[in-house]
Structure 1
């Protein structure tokens, strides 16, 4: 998706931290100073909230607020850093949404809660299903969307967790708008769908800071089954695999890689197929630009956090590949899609080593811009 995102905070940070210009006393200066400072003591929780501004052709201007809460259980610095991120937005096209992501570790890792929640009225661009789809004139599916996905994991042994997983997704009040120069067959679920999945997840995780992993390994395999007996409109199942590893090259440099696999079977609605693109992996592609029942993706990233000549600013360079297919035997090299890009980093929480990231991903479809707190993986 050719979506330009600019954060008002970035301008304030650059002005306040780099240029050091003299501003008049007032609410804006106090806001900037509070946002870029990190005065919390070790073990104490930290909270930030800041405005966002974005633009895309299908939404017009987008105004929002992002917030981040980070803490350690019992204020113990030996416990892992937990994070809860929230983002709410509204656009000039009367679209709106609330996003919430959580990675919460209990005292001494006894429990691990990993999940995300979404509610939004937001257009979905639909390019079709399969590894070869039309690159122009996508359909526009305007709908209300609810997602609640949560894993409740219990520590089995150090760094190893297991537990149940639930996934609830609903698409309603849908309107499928065909483009002027192309007609799509309406996919499964395009008139609205509700699906509930239950399953289990196994996770190995020795990361201490999930928002900026300088050294650590994360591996997850999960199984989810959606059935009419649970209240789902469609019967299908899926296996998901996510492996991430980060390796320090020097005191400031980190080399990280990720492998991701989604494998579904049954009557899978279009919005719950394996989706390529987005802000996490295959940056530069619109989320769902390519979709099918199966996907394999990988990426590698080099991080300079921070630069040797700066205490606050850093950068990354990344590259990735992915492929989708209707079944495992249908994966082919000719359908592999590449992506790559660069990013700028600003150290938002110095005492907790957490950065604000602005990434630009490049693909054959054009650039994609992403602005979030914490690294992509």
Structure 2
């Protein structure tokens, strides 16, 4: 199962880039939708349509938006972003996503989080490092996620603060495939969990969506407890380290190491999940899941090409493994992935690219379209 999402705006921008559209409505449309006419320090806002298709959803129609700004319009402050994406499918599925990375004046505060609400199918292949490649179960549910860190600077580039994670599945249905039977996992009949904890972050990046040079490191701990409103008792430690290194004016080499380490009675949707649009591109999000995961990826970016002002590309490779306990990782279960991507410079004055990636695995390709780099 894979999804293809096509950015209709990208096609229009390509035509604009190679055609001499100097007058009329087309030029005005491009100037309002694609061109970055804001001056440095001024906020920018863009809205653009998307069109997608996947076997489990049929056709998907979406609308993406991105708001960029710097605190007090000071170019010395880091670039903050609020991204939103909403969609509806021909199967009556829908969703609304928000992501935020907001820096206060002189980095005194840092708000980092994401919000999700969707009615959307979740493919379930089972739990563990070795699960069937075909015939997944289909779990249809309403899903709410709210995860936010409120971080205070304690030293240059160091932030610390509380973290909250609320996740809920309701109105669920577990649909078994015709040729395989799964034991219903914890949470498949609905679940609600709220976790409280803390995060320590080091971040010297200036542009979160396109890091040319910088280091991001985070370690966080979350505790979910029935006494605090959760249906399950469990806890977890998350580690995320990302580094970007310019190899020339236009080229960047970036790498990431990511880990989830959980214990307790964990619902299936909050296990460590391999795949998705950020890391291990090419695998369906949750294709492999378990209590623990270690993943890494490396990526080379040409932003943009030397012969173009707008278009660039990337090549990436990654590997990951899941395990039921920290001492249970096995080399034979390491899953590789790799791929390439196309980039289009949407905000030239803020160095923000649209990315269209295709990731390859032994199980097939995965296609992804988002604003900003994967990490």
TM (norm. structure 1) is: 0.98
Instruction: Tell me how far 1:32 sits from its aligned partner.
Output: 2.3
Q: Tell me, what secondary structure is at the counterpart of 2:72? A: helix
Q: Deviation at 1:22?
A: 4.3
Corresponding residue number in structure 2 for 1:25:
24
Counterpart in the other structure of 1:6: 6
* Aligned residue runs from structure 1 range 108-127, under 5 A: 108-127=106-125
5 Å-filtered alignment, 1:163-182, equals 163-182=161-180
Describe how 1:99-248 pairs up with structure 2 within 5 A.
99-248=97-246
**Unaligned segments of structure 2, at least 5 residues:** none
2:316 matched residue in structure 1: 318
Question: 1:30, 1:263 → 2: CA distance?
Answer: 51
Unaligned runs of 5+ in 1: none
Task: Tell me how many residue pairs correspond in the alignment.
Answer: 375
Q: Which runs of 4+ in 1 moved over 4 A?
A: 21-24
Deviation readout 1:117-174 (Å, 9 max, x if unpaired): 0000000000000000011010000000000000000000010000000000000000
CA distance in structure 1 between the partners assigned to 2:96 and 2:277 by the alignment: 16
CA distance in 2, matches of 1:89, 1:25: 30
How well do the aligned residues superpose, as a CA RMSD in angstroms? 1.0
Deviation at 1:2, TM superposition (A): 1.5
User: What's the CA shift for 1:242?
Assistant: 0.1
1:356 alignment partner, one of 330, 345, 354: 354
- Normalised by the length of structure 2, the TM-score is 0.99
Aligned to 1:346: 344
- CA offset digits 1:70-114 (Å, max 9, x no partner): 000000000000000000000000000000000000000000000
Cα distance in 1 for partners of 2:166, 2:299 equals: 32
CA distance in 2, matches of 1:40, 1:21: 23
1:329, CA displacement in angstroms?
1.2
Which residue of 1 is the match for residue 305 of structure 2?
307
Distance (whole Å) between structure 1 residues aligned to residue 194 and residue 21 of structure 2? 55
How far residue 34 of structure 1 moved from its aligned partner, in angstroms, is 1.7
- SS at 1:31's partner residue? helix
What secondary structure is seen at the aligned counterpart in 2 of 1:278? coil
Q: 3-state SS of the aligned residue for 2:284?
A: coil
Q: Secondary structure at the match of 1:148?
A: strand
